Amino acid sequence: MSNYLNCKKGLFSWLFTRDHKRIALLYMITVFSFFIVGGFFALLIRLELFKVGETIVNSAFYNQLMTYHGAVMIFMVIIPGIPAFLGNFVLPLQIGAKDVAFPTVNLLSWYCLVIGAFVTLTSLFLGGVDTGWTFYTPYSIETGTAVIPVVLGAFIMGFSSILTGLNFIVTIHQLRAPGMSFFKMPLFVWSLYSTAIIQVLATPVLAITLLLLVAERVLKVGVFDPAMGGDPILFQHFFWFYSHPAVYIMILPAMGVISELICAFSRKRIFGYKALVFASLGIAVVSFFVWGHHMYVSGQSEWAGIVFSVLTMLVGVPTAVKIFNWIATMFRGSLKFDTPFLYALGFLFLFLIGGVTGYMLAVLPFDVHVHDTYFVVAHFHYVMVGGSIMGIMGGFYYWFPKMFGRLYNEGMGQLGFALIFIGFNVTFFPQFILGINGMPRRYADYKAPYEALNQISTVGSWLIALGFIVAFTFLLWAMFKGRKASANPWGAKTLEWQSSSPPPHENFLETPVVTKEAYE
């Protein structure tokens, strides 16, 4: 039967496609390729930290490794990971549409990501960059390394994010199937909607900030230079005005995926649908009022610190609403522990640790002590990997049969999950202890008493790598050789499962009409 994979052939039918499903697969290839690159940098970092003293890389190169690991993982993997890859594939299917509202713009945003990534990575051939992914002034203005291409690359990739967000907002407003009112939309759609609001509102501020940084370096305008009446801390305000909400660009869609997974594998209606919707929107709005929690010790005024500390704690409320609702959904459900559901449980467990330690860091006097230690590193890896990566992997396994019309190997999927989950905790839990004990982050070396825990952490990183090798190898194999999947292998209720696997070119042979609630 003709489907979106085999309806056209040849490389150009992919590079110039305007089909949201094919664009999603282009994103899939891009995102996972960069994930391997960023992961490779991470492995090198952990390997260097295996022993006290300089071992495999010198400290200048270490600074570059940690910069590229951060920049690649954030701008090229996690930010496009769920919205642009999974969202692109699933969103139009879930609302019963033929495609997104602006298919050509959708393709353009993929090209923005690729071109931006290319520009960023050219810096590798210009001596690299060593500012950290945050590009803090004044160092980013003074350093002789290749800041400008990295920053311009991030600027271009920002447009990818803005265009995707814009496209999704219009799609959700205009292209819902007849009968699908706003409160009949699946929760993943709602989470993409909340994410899109942040993408559209916050990303332009990053673009302006990065351009100001370039202007500062090239033209010496003095916005961030105190000698010329500027303020270096202003850069951090601008930067975190984007980058804190960006954390929710990464985590909100993952939460949407988790809602779908928990609902499908508990075989129950979701508990508290509207509460989950408003929690998503609530997180999106609150995220704009808390950025100063990254700046407690930056020289920001104590008053601002106190205000941001209190506001930050508000984030805990909608987040807790979500976690309780997921647990209530699982309660008395008939749970089925397939790989996607394991990732959902992994998310709950890891994100809870990430979230609670985040709450600790929100408390100003506590943060002053652990600021710039490994405690912070452990915290945000629990949120980013434990949250976003668990979401990407869980969603990928869940929608894999829909994407390729084939089933993955369940045993190998579970093995991959076990290795990643155990490896992750072995890697990052010791870093909480290291941080509490005062090991500073971003340094190429450390004092001898920290060595034992660092070695445990490095061994953990090998387990994670092994886990992803297992997971990706068998997924790749299943793409071409897996058993054929039925239209709805999970018995899930949302619209995408009513279309065949893989779906036809325009998703549905006849436009679906929605009469029921999302999970009935």
Binding site for another protein (CB under 8 A): 201-202, 205, 231, 233-234, 237-238, 241, 288-289, 291-292, 299-304, 307-308
Task: Select from Cu ion, another protein, none the partner in contact with residue 302, using the beta carbon and a kind-dependent cut-off of 5 to 8 Å.
Answer: another protein
Classify 489 as helix, strand or coil.
coil
Q: How far is the CB of 391 from another protein (least distance, A)?
A: 26
C-beta separation of 244 from 294 below 8 A: yes
For residue 371, state whether it binds Cu ion (rule: CB under 5 A): no
Residues forming a β-bridge with 373: 440
In degrees and rounded to multiples of 5, residue 484 shows phi and psi of -65, 140
The closest of 102, 101, 88 to 171, measured between CA atoms, is 101
Q: How far is the CB of 150 from another protein (least distance, A)?
A: 24
Q: How far is the CB of 199 from another protein (least distance, A)?
A: 13
Q: How far is the CB of 363 from another protein (least distance, A)?
A: 19
In whole angstroms, give the CA distance from residue 490 to residue 321: 26
Choose between 244 and 381: whose C-beta lies nearer to Cu ion: 244
The closest of 268, 252, 269, 308 to 87, measured between CA atoms, is 252
Choose between 173 and 369: whose C-beta lies nearer to another protein: 173
Task: Select from Cu ion, another protein, none the partner in contact with residue 244, using the beta carbon and a kind-dependent cut-off of 5 to 8 Å.
Answer: Cu ion
In whole angstroms, give the CA distance from residue 325 to residue 389: 21
Choose between 288 and 359: whose C-beta lies nearer to another protein: 288
In whole angstroms, give the CA distance from residue 23 to residue 274: 31
Choose between 244 and 268: whose C-beta lies nearer to Cu ion: 244
Q: How far is the CB of 71 from another protein (least distance, A)?
A: 23
The closest of 121, 79, 417, 426 to 261, measured between CA atoms, is 417
Q: How far is the CB of 511 from another protein (least distance, A)?
A: 25
Task: Select from Cu ion, another protein, none the partner in contact with residue 233, using the beta carbon and a kind-dependent cut-off of 5 to 8 Å.
Answer: another protein
Task: Select from another protein, Cu ion, none the partner in contact with residue 107, using the beta carbon and a kind-dependent cut-off of 5 to 8 Å.
Answer: none
In whole angstroms, give the CA distance from residue 265 to residue 464: 25
Task: Select from Cu ion, another protein, none the partner in contact with residue 384, using the beta carbon and a kind-dependent cut-off of 5 to 8 Å.
Answer: none
DSSP 373: B
Q: How far is CA 67 from the centre of its chain?
A: 17
Choose between 145 and 236: whose C-beta lies nearer to another protein: 236
Task: Select from Cu ion, another protein, none the partner in contact with residue 238, using the beta carbon and a kind-dependent cut-off of 5 to 8 Å.
Answer: another protein
Neighbours of 111 (CB within 10 A): 15
Structure tokens at 379: 């915290």
C-beta separation of 72 from 41 below 8 A: yes
Q: Angle 115-76-428 (CA atoms, 0-180°, nearest 5)?
A: 160
Choose between 300 and 414: whose C-beta lies nearer to another protein: 300
Q: How far is the CB of 368 from another protein (least distance, A)?
A: 16
Choose between 80 and 292: whose C-beta lies nearer to Cu ion: 292
Choose between 244 and 322: whose C-beta lies nearer to Cu ion: 244
Q: How far is the CB of 426 from Cu ion (least distance, A)?
A: 26
Residues 231-260 that bind Cu ion (CB under 5 A): 244
Choose between 34 and 241: whose C-beta lies nearer to another protein: 241
In this structure, the dihedral spanned by the alpha carbons of residues 56, 35, 441 and 293, taken in order and rounded to 10 degrees, is 170
CA distance to 3, 367, 380, 402, 507, per residue, from 486 (Å):
14, 51, 38, 9, 15
Residues forming a β-bridge with 406: 484
Q: How far is the CB of 264 from another protein (least distance, A)?
A: 34
Neighbours of 202 (CB within 10 A): 25
Q: Count the site residues for Cu ion by CB under 5 A.
A: 1
Residues forming a β-bridge with 440: 373
Question: Where on the chain is the footprint of Cu ion (CB under 5 A)?
Answer: 244
